[in-house]
Amino acid sequence: MSYFNYEMAEKRGIIHTLDLPLLQSISQNTKGSCEQYVDEAIDNAGEDRLAHLEEIGMIKYVKSSPRGTKASRVRLSNKGVKIMASLTKRGPAPDEEDEVLANWMHGIYSRRSNYVKANMAEVKRLIAWFKDTTTIDGKKLAMLLKCFMEDTFLFDDTDTSKTFWDQFNEYKRQNPRAVISNKIENVFWKPPGIFAKKYNLNESPLWEYYETNQGHIHKKWSSM
């Protein structure tokens, strides 16, 4: 396993330092053939982590002889198999919906005076990642993006009497949901530095906007 989505795992209640070795050994324990390794993983993680994984539906126990140990009987559940598969893939390839959304956003952003040219391939990848990570897609994602873009502050460079921040603060007073955005890629993920490569939901302006304004967004969704 060369890749693991730690962020998504955490959201599903999986502690990677304890649960990942345990789940990995269980995933290979199809006929109880990895009992020794499962037993060692249980010792390292603790019985409480095994119980937790059963509680959240990641594992199950198959019937066996009365002498069968937990390590010989434990298997990934159907849910566990699906979740482990999703946690070990880098994310889906962009689809037609992602392309439509990317082109729609480009049409809006490219008309702005402060527009920064977008890497459209990266925009599509980011949309696919955002959908996969948050499960917000389709019309709901389109509405979320519409709200975000409508609440974006647009600097009037013809008004020389006020600085950028003067104008923004005035706009913010009128619209508490105000955001600053001039680069499409940074709507979905704003890297903390030039060397950052791994998408992180905690660094997503769109996700922050959603979490801060859930009441407004859900009202919009319910009216669709």
What's the structural domain count of the chain? 2
Pair (50, 101) in one structural domain: no
Q: Do both 17 and 101 map to the same domain? A: no
Counting other chains too, the contacts that 6-13 makes at CB distance below 8 Å and 24 or more residues apart are: 7/133, 7/200, 7/201, 7/202, 8/86, 8/87, 8/133, 9/87, 12/56, 12/83, 12/87, 13/52, 13/56
Give pLDDT tens digits for 166-213: 999 998 999 999 999 989 999 999 988 888 778 888 899 999 999 999
CATH number at residue 15: 1.10.10
Please state, in angstroms and rounded to a whole number, the distance separating the CA atoms of residues 179 and 6. 28
One domain, residues 109 and 201: yes
pLDDT of residue 200: 86
The mean pLDDT of 47-60, rounded to a whole number, is 92
Full residue range of the structural domain in which residue 109 is found: 96-222
Q: Where are the alpha helices (DSSP H) in the chain?
A: 6-11, 16-27, 35-45, 47-55, 70-73, 78-87, 96-109, 120-134, 138-150, 164-174, 185-188, 205-212, 214-222
Q: Within this chain, do residues 101 and 65 fall inside the same structural domain, yes or no?
A: no
Residue 70: which pLDDT band, with cuts at 50, 70 and 90?
confident
Same domain as 123, residue 72: no
Is there a domain that residue 1 lies in? no
Between CA 125 and CA 156 the distance in angstroms is: 32
The answer on 74 and 161 residing in a single domain is no
Would you say residue 127 lies in a domain?
yes
User: Is it the case that residue 85 has pLDDT exceeding 80?
Assistant: no
Residues 100 and 195 in one domain: yes
Residue in 151, 131, 139 with CA at minimum distance from that of residue 204: 131
Same domain? 19 vs 81 = yes
Residue 2, pLDDT score? 53
* Final residue belonging to a domain, choices 87, 106, 130: 87
Strand partners, 152: 179
pTM of the model: 0.60
Q: How far apart are CA 107 and CA 149, in angstroms?
A: 12
Do 104 and 22 fall into the same domain?
no
Residue 102 lies in a domain: yes
Residues 31 and 138 both lie in one domain: no
